[in-house]
Amino acid sequence: MVNCDFQLRDVGLRLGGNTILSGITFNLGKPELVALLGPNGAGKSTLMSILAGLRPAHEGTCLFQGVEVRRWDRARFARLVSFVPQAVRIDFPFTCEQVVLMGRTPHCAGMFETSADWDEVRRAMALTDTVAFRHRDFRTLSGGEKQRILLASALAQSPRVLLLDEPAAFLDLKHQLTLYELLREQCRQGLVVVTVTHDLNLAAGFCDRAILLHNGRIAADDAPHLALNEQTIADVYDVHAEFRQTGTGKTWITYGG
């Protein structure tokens, strides 16, 4: 089993004279689905980019397998950790299949992809219900379709850790559910998955753990039913939340002003 431990100790970041993150301390290790939550500007995307090794100027330590993320060889790191940022722009006329194949880049030893690479591409496109877009120009897809192709590319990377920044933002209801079912299945297969979301019900319904960010600090880090309560939601989101039980025993969070 590959050790996929992240250990963060007192991670902080200042940008343009402002403190964006401070005192961020947590471990990731066992296969689990982690929701990273918090209002706009809380620092979620910044924290994800530190985990992905894209913000080397941060304070504190962010270790992956015992080595500072910023010191990892990028290709080796990319064979273990894949990251889908919140917004991705592709200006060239790549087909969707080519975009997914790009996920194999860290594994390609030579100039040409192998049949194993194509197997991974096909597997990832089947999992994300994107086979029908195979030959389409990526730029012509809707926002949600693009998100599913980018997820397919991240899965084709065959990582041990999957970092997803708002992967459900543009997805319709069915694809939100199938995304989270897919993420759960990836965890069952041993992956660590961190997903940024604003949907507290997806976090509570599917995730093992919720890390709640507020003004660049961790406000809660626990099982979702413990991290998300009336008080933490009021403190962090400034809304009044109510917790209801559905007929099937699920908890449903509703919120108003």
Cβ nearer to ligand ADP, comparing 38 with 159: 38
Structure tokens, 231: 């008080």
In whole angstroms, what is the distance from residue 137 CA to residue 47 CA?
32
Q: Residues in contact with Mg ion, total (CB under 5 A)?
A: 3
Task: Look up residue 153 and give its amino acid.
Answer: S
Binding flag, residue 87, ligand ADP (CB under 6 A):
no
Residue 43 partner contact from ligand ADP, Mg ion, none using kind-dependent CB cut-offs of 5 to 8 Å: ligand ADP
Closest residue by Cα to residue 164 from 143, 178, 147, 189: 147
Cβ nearer to Mg ion, comparing 44 with 175: 44
Quick one: three-class SS letters along 167-204?
CCCCCCHHHHHHHHHHHHHHHHCCCEEEEECCCHHHHH
Cβ nearer to Mg ion, comparing 121 with 168: 168
Cβ nearer to Mg ion, comparing 45 with 251: 45
Residue 42 partner contact from Mg ion, ligand ADP, none using kind-dependent CB cut-offs of 5 to 8 Å: ligand ADP
Residue 20 partner contact from Mg ion, ligand ADP, none using kind-dependent CB cut-offs of 5 to 8 Å: ligand ADP
In whole angstroms, what is the distance from residue 210 CA to residue 40 CA?
16
In whole angstroms, what is the distance from residue 213 CA to residue 110 CA?
42
| Sheet with 192-196: strands ordered across | 81-84, 161-164, 192-196, 33-37, 209-214, 217-222
Cβ nearer to ligand ADP, comparing 16 with 110: 16
Q: Min. distance of Cβ 45 from ligand ADP in angstroms?
A: 3
Q: Min. distance of Cβ 244 from ligand ADP in angstroms?
A: 27
Q: Min. distance of Cβ 164 from ligand ADP in angstroms?
A: 13
Residue 38 partner contact from ligand ADP, Mg ion, none using kind-dependent CB cut-offs of 5 to 8 Å: ligand ADP
- In angstroms, the first-to-last Cα distance of the chain is 47
Q: Min. distance of Cβ 165 from Mg ion in angstroms?
A: 6
Q: Min. distance of Cβ 14 from ligand ADP in angstroms?
A: 9
Cβ nearer to ligand ADP, comparing 97 with 199: 199
Binding flag, residue 45, Mg ion (CB under 5 A):
yes
Q: Which of residues 31-70 bind ligand ADP (CB under 6 A)?
A: 38, 40-46
In whole angstroms, what is the distance from residue 152 CA to residue 150 CA?
5
Cβ nearer to ligand ADP, comparing 161 with 213: 213
Q: Residues 236, 151, 130, CA angle at the centre, nearest 5°?
A: 130
Strand partners, 62: 8
Structure tokens, 247: 């007929």
By CB under 5 A, name the binding residues for Mg ion.
Answer: 44-45, 86
By CB under 6 A, name the binding residues for ligand ADP.
Answer: 15-16, 18, 20, 38, 40-46
